Amino acid sequence: MQTRSRKRQFASDNYSGVCPEALEAMQRANCDHEPSYGEDQWTALAADSIRELFETDCEVFFVFNGTAANSLALSSLSQSYHSILCHRSAHVETDECGAPEFFSNGTKVLLLDGEDGKINVSSIHRMVKRRTDIHYPKPQVISVTQSTELGTLYTSEEIGEIGAVASELGLKYHMDGARFANAVTASGKSPAELTWKAGVDVLCFGGAKNGMALGDLVVFFKPELANEFDYRCKQAGQLASKMRFLAAPWLGMLKDQVWLKYASHANRMASLLADGFRSIPDFKILFPPQANAVFVEIPSAIQEGLKSRGWKFYNFIGEGGCRFMASWDTEESDVNALLTDANSLAGS
Ligand SMILES: *Cc1c(COP(=O)(O)O)cnc(C)c1O
């Protein structure tokens, strides 16, 4: 059967285009000459807006993508003989081609288990206490992903409990917030409550999956941790000369809570999709869909049917697990089109 091309897919939230507010903000920044390398007015305004959003005097850096944000942030927190503790399914482990280890000159990533893609206090304690001798890389950083790679959420209490353990054990606390917007809107908590008030030291705050073209932030809640981070960015090729085009779209996203409007829309579309999948026999939802992802086990013949009808999705999480992501621009009609095909293939 011929593969139809589709306007909107569920393969990833970064299949989506740029939302109008981010695009307009970029247009506004394109009016005339401006100083380069972050000395422009747009970068200053965007950084101030982030400080306002987080209700604290944080240090803000603009980089091109999430892999750079995570790996540079982690490398700034650790020495080469240290280790970084994260979940087995964490993006920093599975999807960054070893960049955190590379940029930190060999810091080892240690993998923790935990239900629904989340690490917890006991898994951290177990890993840290397992070895305390000089022959083992010294635990230095805890990294969590919010919302997680499996579409689940840490509650603000869970973030806080991990923060307390980090402080007790003298560890730094990093949050991969590639989908921070989805987590904020789903939790009903403030950005401050989900981060520094719960002990998070550094947040990588994603823009692309929320509706921007590109550009992620590294937000240091303890300014001393940001010491010389600008050099690290430059050396890694992450200092944008026309930085205003990375910065200005944030102004469009943050104004009138556009970022949360889109994230909550994406979450709602994922929840509709999950409801539809639940009513199809032999479809099994794998993790609680708490953000904009739905993981579902689908019989392989139906998976093939969906693919031949032009649907794209990832199935890299175990046997039969398929991932569907909703975006800022997913429409209810897209959800219904996918469910109609799934129902017809399932004969339900
Ligand atoms: C998408 C994503 C990133 C960033 O990936 P890039 O492709 O480098 O922008 C980081 N963490 C998580 C959990 C992601 O899903």
**pLDDT for the residue numbered 101:** 97
Domains in the chain, please, with CATH?
20-255 (3.40.640.10), 258-346 (3.90.1150.10)
What stretch of H or E contains 241? none
Q: Which atom of ligand 1 is nearest to the CA of 96?
A: 8
Tokens (6 digits) for 209: 């999956």
99, 65, 59, 96: which is closest to 229 by C-alpha?
Answer: 59
**pLDDT for the residue numbered 345:** 97
Give the residue, out of 94, 95, 202, 203, with the most ligand 1 atoms within 8 A of its beta carbon, to mutate for a pocket test.
95
Give the residue, out of 150, 154, 175, 176, with the most ligand 1 atoms within 8 A of its beta carbon, to mutate for a pocket test.
176
Which residue positions in the chain have pLDDT lower than 50?
1-2
Number of H helices, E strands in the chain: 13, 10
Distances (CA, A) of 221 to 57, 144, 218: 7, 16, 10
Is the CB of residue 145 below 6 angstroms from any atom belonging to ligand 1?
yes
**pLDDT for the residue numbered 216:** 97
What pTM does this model have? 0.97
Task: Give me the residues paired with residue 216 across strands.
Answer: 63
The residues near 80 (Cβ < 8 Å, ≥ 6 apart) are: 104, 105, 106, 107
**pLDDT for the residue numbered 7:** 77
Find out whether 50 and 58 touch, Cβ atoms under 8 Å. Answer: yes
Our CA angle for 170, 173, 176, nearest 5°, is 165
Q: Which atom of ligand 1 is nearest to the CA of 214?
A: 9
Q: How far is it, in rounded angstroms, from Cα 34 to Cα 171?
A: 40
**pLDDT for the residue numbered 154:** 98
**pLDDT for the residue numbered 5:** 60
Atom 1 of ligand 1: nearest residue by CA position: 178
Q: How far is the CA of 32 from the centre of ligand 1 (A)?
A: 32
